[in-house]
Amino acid sequence: MRTRLPAGPRPSPGNRQALTGARIVLPDGVADGHTLLIHGARILDIVPDAAIPAATERVDLGGGWLMPGFIDTQVNGGGDVLFNDAPTVDGIRAIAAAHRRYGTTGIFPTLISDRPAVVGAAIAAGEEALAAHVPGVLGLHIEGPHLNPAKKGIHDAGVFTAIDAGVIARLTAPTAGVRIVTLAPELTDDSSIRALADAGVIVAAAHSLADYARTRAAIHAGLAGFTHLFNAMTGLGSREPGMVGAALEDRATHFGLIVDGVHVHPATCRIALAARGSDGVMLVTDAMPPVGGSAGGFALMGQDIRVVDGTCRGPDDTLAGSALSMAQAVRNAMDLMGCSIVTASRLASGNPAVFLRMADVRGAIRPGLMADLVHWNDDRRVTATWIAGERSDAGE
């Protein structure tokens, strides 16, 4: 499989725009009194307010912050749609639109462990969505079904399977975007991990009993990250560092954190950030259909999932993904983890772009990158987003 970055919507040859009146969040600080220039799908420049070129359309944002659009690598659903139930381009379109309201301009629809036919349908739908330039869709995340039943979480262990040649062929089929696969390293071998990685698949680990040594070996074979650190994996211990220890120690991999105050204790999130540094942490939502929807619950693999105090829980009270948006995750990173807006932005945009190998295309406000942007007002609420320069005013 040869991966190429999705082309995105075709830029129109419209006038240059000057997005002014907001503080601009850059990779190394906040630019006040500056204006962002965009043209078509791209960022042109960042200039002082007094240096806006003539013949440029001025767009006054009225305060707040202008940030790079958020990139979420784990989105199971949104807008009352579960990807497993709607593995179609229309399902993906609805999920992406629901999350865009919360500043997510780059999305990975995520399939929870399911039967091979559903995996195949999801992959086909992902390619159709990429070909149709559905706004925000960057690729697909297949989470399972190659997981450890002892760490299944809300997944249905009845559909779990081993990785074989047929699975590898399915997962490495050509893609117009980026493909992420989450697996349990102890239930496969290094040659399979290497085959996936060599084909361009981004291999992540979770729902696993892998110890420190097995995780380190998997990293050497091509494991690139960890889907939701601390959740459904072996923890850090004094004599056995576990998967968590391997993730915190390694400086080349990335890990997702579900910062909702429930999946991981805020102090544990702060410790992870201190241990690994701000270059390795990614905010993820693990979002379910209630995000951007109106229903109080949904069905997952025959289980009734209910929303309780902002969390999604199964019949036995098991956490079933989250009702978290990326906008709230960024606010939580600031409020619960003590991150500055610059660091929180990096966790939501810059680091995911590096993990996805597309930092030369998106993930920061820098001349030449895609104009994927989000505007926060002074109350830190999303008022507008831009995907490849195309604005939407559907916000929080």
Catalytic residues: 286
Tell me the C-alpha distance between 44 and 216, whole Å. Answer: 42
**β-strands 29-31, 23-26: how paired?**
antiparallel
In sequence order, which residues have a C-beta less than 8 Å from that of residue 58 and are 6 or more positions away? 17, 18, 20, 52
DSSP class of residue 284?
A: -
With tokens 């995907």, the residue in question is: 387
DSSP 74-133: EE-EETTEETTT--SHHHHHHHHHHHHTTTEEEEEEEEES--HHHHHHHHHHHHHHHHTT
68: enclosing H helix or E strand: strand 65-68
- HSE toward the beta carbon, residue 170, CA cutoff 13 A: 18
Tell me the C-alpha distance between 91 and 22, whole Å. Answer: 34
- HSE toward the beta carbon, residue 291, CA cutoff 13 A: 33
